[in-house]
Amino acid sequence: MPSIVIRQITDEIHRALKVRADAHGCSTEAEVRAILAAAVQPPDRTRIGSLLAQIGRDIGGVDLDIARDPSPPRAARFD
């Protein structure tokens, strides 16, 4: 997983991050990850799966006839 280093933050910002992390019951590092995620992935963003589902509904959907085989799976044989 990628890592980043943030240099030259003030003592005041660092203290504020620690206080905020303590209030949320997590580490400072976890709090910074949450802040970054909220900044770049807002909850109201359009997700590709939702967009594709909406397109499908707009065009009348797709009629799929899918039937599941109720029998249990068979073990593979390597004869």
Residue spans per domain, the chain: 11-58
Query: Per residue of the chain (79 residues), what is the pLDDT tens digit?
Result: 899 999 999 999 999 999 999 999 999 999 999 999 989 887 777 788 888 888 888 888 766 667 788 888 888 889 8
Residue of 42, 38, 39, 35 lying closest to 18 (CA atoms): 35
Place of tokens 């390597």: 78
What pTM value is reported for the model?
Answer: 0.55
Place of tokens 């280093």: 5
Q: Kindly report the backbone phi and psi dihedral angles of residue 50, in degrees, each rounded to the nearest multiple of 5, phi listed first.
A: -65, -40
- Assign 75 to helix, strand or coil: coil
Is 1.10.1220.10 the CATH classification of the domain at 11-58?
A: yes
What are the angstrom distances between the C-alpha of 58 and each of 51, 52, 77, 78?
Answer: 10, 10, 46, 48
